[in-house]
Chain A
Amino acid sequence: MSILKVENIYKRFGKIEVLKGVSFEMNKGEVLSILGSSGSGKTTLLRCINFLEKADGGVISVDGDVIFDASDKSKMTAADIRRSQLNFGMVFQSFNLFPQYNVLENVTLAPKLLAKEDPNYHANKKAILAEIDEHAKELLARVGLSEKLDSYPCQLSGGQQQRVSIARALALKPKILFFDEPTSALDPELTGEILKVIRSLAQQNITMVIVTHEIGFAKNVSDRIIFMDNGVIAEQGTPAEVIDNPKNERTKAFLNLISQKE
């Protein structure tokens, strides 16, 4: 069974139709990259799946459970949305770290707040909090930031900040990790360190959806590629199919443009 199933997502902003019926599925452990020119709807698609935008049409299921159905008139409560959102982790283009907290606190803040909802929280408070700290330190070690636990975001480079935000997203053990152009705000020399981290996550079989402009990287790390154009999926398949032998004219034109730039 697919871990994520997205069916017929529609989304419009005012008069502009950004998504015009997007459907795809992915399996556990898979890495899926979404490519496409600016304005093709990649980011909006990601934001519709994790409830940062509300899709106008379509159904989204995780592990076979429908978490969103636009045609279902029974209103979703904020608590429902919150619960569904916890299926996903999100890494933003602009990091969005919390500036007033240090690196470790950035990673542990959400798990500690969530732990308070645990009925056993008061009985085992110390153990639960210690476990969260331990897990956070482990994650920060995995992204190579063990030395920076006490630093504040403003003291870190962009690449380091983005690595913290990856650790932060992993701290809640999401089923699927989303990346929204994780390297677009970074200098080329810092891009490499992020790609390295994502690659190591792929090796650990973490299910990921990556919206990116890094074609070479996408080809290298992904199991599957989706090419979006003008609000629809123009082409999808393995990297070998989509990037090396594109069939769609728009895909060809896009890849040509990119390779010229590089």
Chain B
Amino acid sequence: MFLQVTMSLLEGFKTTFNIFILTLLFALPLGLIISFGSMCKVKFIKWFVKTFIWIIRGTPLMLQLIVVYYGPGLIGTWAQEAIKTGVASGAIMEWLASWHVFERFFALILAFVINYACYFSEIFRGGIESIPRGQYEAGQVLGMTKVQVFFKVVLMQVVKRIIPPMSNEIITLVKDTSLARIIMVYEIIWNAQKYIKSEGLLWPLFYTAVYYLLFCGILTLLFGYIEKKLDYYKI
């Protein structure tokens, strides 16, 4: 039984890991782009992005998952009804009527990426704004372009500064993956929970903690290693 549960949880953990890695892969670059938006000198863009971040950070990820998964389908059905009953028509309504439910896993990753990109963007923004103006000026008087100053001078200093808050957020992500079951993506907790119904066993649920702990432990070691690697210089 123990072996069977272990294998089943491992199966679920694969999904958990995939959610984790895909979210990280897309949310990190997207977060950087969003952070540029929130620091943009064009007021309209800045406030648009800030409002978006407020909405995403101000509502539960669970709710966002539900909206992303069920929302498009609901809108599609509503638009089809509206056209059928003659309440509304036109190209936009036609387009809305073509909306349908996303594939489950795609909707899940989409919601996770948007949510985490917003959190990451605030960490990036804090890191970028904490770099003294003198660093930019030194690059500028040495004839570097803005892009060169950012990538050759500022970025590495930002990376060093944001590793502690980033590691926090990334470890939170590991555990947030358990929300996937809300839209029936079968991650590790789901796989454990089914043993309650089928076998009346509670311990597989507790057993999942071992997976989480091991994975977060590895991440903690990894971040410690990176921090140490960057220890050769001080900001």
B143 contacts partner chain A, Cβ-Cβ < 8 Å: yes
The answer to the question of A82 belonging to the interface, with a C-beta cut-off of 8 Å to chain B, is: yes
Interface-forming stretch among B5-13, B22-30, B43-51, B131-139? Answer: B131-139
Q: How many chain B residues have a CB neighbour from A under 8 Å?
A: 23
Residue among B132, B143, B148 having the largest count of chain A Cβ atoms under 10 Å: B143
Q: Is the CB of B137 within 8 A of A100?
A: no
Contact B152 A99 (CB under 8 A): no
Q: Find chain A residues with CB under 8 A from B157 CB.
A: 99-100
Instruction: Please tell me if B144 contacts chain A, counting CB pairs below 8 Å.
Output: yes
For A154, what are the chain B residues with a Cβ–Cβ distance below 8 Å?
233-234
* Residues of chain B contacted by A109 (CB below 8 angstroms): 142, 152-153
B residues 148-191 touching A (CB-CB < 8 Å): 148, 152-153, 156-157, 160
Considering the complex, give the chain B residue whose CB is closest to the CB of A165: B138
> Contact between B134 and A100 (Cβ–Cβ < 8 Å)?
no
Instruction: Check if A44 is an interface residue, CB within 8 A of chain B.
Output: no
Cβ B233 vs Cβ A99 within 8 A: yes
Specify which of B140, B141, B148 is in contact with A89 (CB 8 Å cutoff).
B141
**Surface stretch bound by B, among A57-65, A90-98, A232-240, A241-249:** A90-98
Please provide the chain A residues from 66 to 89 with a CB less than 8 Å away from any CB of chain B in the complex: 78, 82, 85-86, 88-89
> Whole-angstrom distance between the alpha carbons of A172 and B138 in the complex?
13
Number of residue pairs A-B, CB distance < 8 angstroms:
64
Cα A78 to Cα B156 in complex, Å, equals 24
When A99-B233, A99-B235 are in contact, do A90 and B141 touch as well, CB less than 8 Å?
A: yes
Q: Please, how many residues of chain A have a CB less than 8 angstroms from a CB on the other chain?
A: 28
Q: Does the CB pair B145–A85 fall under 8 Å?
A: no
> Are B235 and A110 closer than 8 Å at their CB atoms?
no
| Complex-state Cα separation, A82 to B149, whole angstroms | 12
Q: Do A152 and B145 contact each other (CB < 8 Å), given the known contacts A52-B137, A96-B138, A109-B152? A: no
CB distance from B144 to the nearest CB of A (A): 6
CB pair A113 B148 closer than 8 Å? yes
Q: How many Å lie between the Cα of A174 and that of B220 in the bound state?
A: 48
Cβ-neighbour of A113 out of B135, B152, B232, B235 (below 8 A): B152
Q: With A99-B157, A109-B152 given, is the CB distance from A85 to B141 under 8 Å?
A: yes
| Across-interface contacts of B135 in A (CB, < 8 A) | 96, 98
On chain A, the residues within 8 Å of B140 by CB distance are: 51-52, 85
Is B146 positioned at the interface, with any CB of A under 8 Å from its CB?
yes
Asked if A152 and B134 sit within 8 Å, CB to CB, the answer is no
In the assembly, what is the distance between CA of A99 and CA of B157, in Å?
8
The answer on a CB contact under 8 Å between B141 and A52 is yes
Least CB distance from A104 to B in Å reads 14
Mask for A94-135, Cβ within 8 A of B = 1, else 0? 101111100000000110011000000000000000000000
For B142, the chain A residues whose CB sits under 8 A away are: 109-110, 168-169, 172
Residues on A with C-beta less than 8 A from B234 are: 99, 152, 154
Q: Within 8 Å of chain B (Cβ to Cβ): is A153?
A: yes
Do the beta carbons of B134 and A94 come within 8 Å of each other?
yes
CB neighbours of A113 from chain B (8 A): 143-144, 148, 152
**Cβ 8 A contact of B233, one of A52, A82, A152:** A152
A258 to B132, CA, bound (A): 31
Known: A99-B157, A100-B233, A113-B152. A88 touches B146 (CB 8 A): no
Query: What is the bound-complex CA distance between A50 and B157, given in angstroms?
Result: 25
Smallest CB-CB separation from A90: which chain B residue? Answer: B141
Least CB separation from A86: chain B residue: B143
CA distance A165 to B135 in the complex (A): 12
Residues of A within 8 A of B (CB): 50-52, 78, 82, 85-86, 88-90, 92, 94, 96-100, 109-110, 113-114, 152-154, 165, 168-169, 172
